Structure formats: structure tokens, C-alpha cells
Amino acid sequence: MQNDEKLKNERNMLFIDSLADFLASTESKSSEEVREELIVEGIDPDISTNRLIEYAHKCSMDAKRKQLDHAASMRNRVETLNEKSAGRFTALSKEEIMKKMKDYLASPVLAPSFSYRDLNKKSREDLEAILEDLEAAQSMTSVDEGNE
């Protein structure tokens, strides 16, 4: 009995859902016909459209601001990470730095940007800077994956 009621309820909901979609249908309707329908529903198409376009513009600006804020916070995080790793490897020899770098180069995300370079030709100081960058990039990747 309860199942019958449930089924009946679902059928009723399906009908109302389909009816609303059908009545709202604008397939093969010209924009003039859509405007006329809005007027019949007591809506001034021009006033409403302007209001909605203005709102969309505001959303676009908010989205841009959000994007800029996000970029700024990412920059801050990179700078903080760079500061943290600066000078960490000064005590290491060139060979030790190269060995540490190999671990990072196993990462599919970081390897492509370094794999083409002939690291043996780089000075110890250059390698130290690259290692610091690699460490920062690895940390950023981990943070991003954590966020997702």
C-alpha cells in the first residue's frame, strides 16, 4: 500500500516536472516570441535583461577578484617556501646536490622541466638554486593535490 502511494507520488512528481519543462520550452521559438511570453507573464524583458546582465557583470568582476586573490596567495606561498628552503643546501657538495636532485627528477610533474638540461655543466651554486626551486615546486604540488 505504502509502495503504491510512493509510486503514485513519484508519477505525480514526474508529471509536474515534465509539464513545467514543456511549458517553459523555447525550442524553435524566435526571440520575439520569447519576449512576448515574458510580457504575458508580467515581466518587462528589457528591464529584466538589463538587471541580469548587470548582475552577470558583477559576478564576472567578483570571479576576477577571486582569481587575483588566489594568484596572490599562491605567490605568497611560493615566496614563503623559497624563503624556507634558501640556504638549506649550502653545506652540501655538488655531488650530494646532484644526488638529491635525482630524487626530484623521478617525479613526473617536475622532471619534464629539468630533464633536458645538462646538469653536469652547471656550477655548484646554480645546482643549489635549482634544488631549492625543485623543493619549493614539489611542496606546491603537494599542497595543490591536498586541496583538490
**By CB under 8 A, what part of segment 52-111 binds other proteins?**
52-53, 55-56, 59-60, 62-64, 66-67, 70
Complex with other proteins: residue 38 or 78, whichever CB lies closer = 38
Interface region with other proteins, contact rule CB under 8 A, candidates 33-41, 78-86, 98-106, 121-129:
33-41
- What one-letter code names the amino acid at 145? E
> What is the SS3 assignment for 23-62?
HCCCCCCCHHHHHHHHHHCCCCHHHHHHHHHHHHHHHHHH
Q: Measure the N-to-C terminal CA separation of the chain; round to a whole number of Å.
A: 46
Size of the site for other proteins (CB under 8 A): 48
Is 148 a binder of other proteins (CB under 8 A)?
A: yes
> SS3 of 126, please?
helix
Is 23 a binder of other proteins (CB under 8 A)?
A: yes
